[in-house]
Amino acid sequence: MAVISLGGIVLTKSLRVAGNEMDEAIIDYLKKKYNLLIGERTAEEIKIEIGSAYPLEEELTVEVNGRDLVEGLPRMVRINSEEIREALHETLSAIVNAVRDILEETPPELSSDLIERGVVLAGGGAQLRGLDKLISQETKLPVRVAEDPLTSVVRGTGKMLEEDRYLRLFPKE
């Protein structure tokens, strides 16, 4: 998370929780609720197919294949988007709380910028359905998803390597 003003970074904070932790939360949830063991790739597919951070107009379902932890045999379970939202709840709360924390630390002089310009979400996980809506509800700020969020990190890294003026944006430690 970074608070940016006048083209410079005012504050940064790193919470090592993002897309991968969402996948892990889905694995844990299905293990606990259904005694079903699934792989990381399946968890990611579920997240992308029916994952959400905010109630959907039409809730979604998906069939999940995994291994029954009691019988040790393959089993199919049908799960819905409300369950996956429950699975993601803790991970998403951690993200929301970290955003609120950095906003609390932001100098009040920047409040009008924040209200006017809002929050931009980057990273592939920003594409989770309703994440923008959840963060907007919890921060009372306008929130939008960056253009092509999945590649924003690599594109940003490339820019920093090409032009050192981007590197100078970071406050010296």
Ligand X SMILES: Nc1ncnc2c1ncn2[C@@H]1O[C@H](COP(=O)(O)OP(=O)(O)OP(=O)(O)O)[C@@H](O)[C@H]1O
In whole angstroms, how close is the CB of 117 to Mg ion at the nearest point? 25
The residues of the shown chain that bind ligand X, judged by CB under 6 A, are 18-20, 44, 47-48, 51, 123-125, 127-128, 150, 153
Contact partner at residue 66 from Mg ion, ligand X, none, CB < 5 to 8 Å by partner kind: none
**Considering beta carbons, is residue 76 or 153 the nearer one to ligand X?**
153
**Considering beta carbons, is residue 77 or 150 the nearer one to ligand X?**
150
Contact, 66 vs 38, CB < 8 A? yes
**Considering beta carbons, is residue 47 or 85 the nearer one to ligand X?**
47
Burial of 41 (0-12, 13-18, 19+ CB in 10 A): exposed
Distance CA 74, CA 117 (A): 50
At 121, is the secondary structure helix, strand, or coil?
strand
In whole angstroms, how close is the CB of 111 to ligand X at the nearest point? 26
**Considering beta carbons, is residue 19 or 130 the nearer one to Mg ion?**
19
In whole angstroms, how close is the CB of 154 to ligand X at the nearest point? 8
> What phi and psi values does residue 141 have, to the nearest 5 degrees?
-115, 155
Contact partner at residue 98 from Mg ion, ligand X, none, CB < 5 to 8 Å by partner kind: none
In whole angstroms, how close is the CB of 18 to Mg ion at the nearest point? 4
User: Which segments of 35-62 does DSSP mark as H helices, in order?
Assistant: 40-50
| Tokens 């959840």 -> residue | 134
Task: Give bridge partners of residue 65 from the DSSP assignment.
Answer: 76
- Work out whether strand 2-5 and strand 119-121 pair parallel, antiparallel, or are unpaired: unpaired
**Considering beta carbons, is residue 18 or 94 the nearer one to Mg ion?**
18
Contact partner at residue 153 from ligand X, Mg ion, none, CB < 5 to 8 Å by partner kind: ligand X
In whole angstroms, how close is the CB of 153 to ligand X at the nearest point? 5
Contact, 89 vs 112, CB < 8 A? no
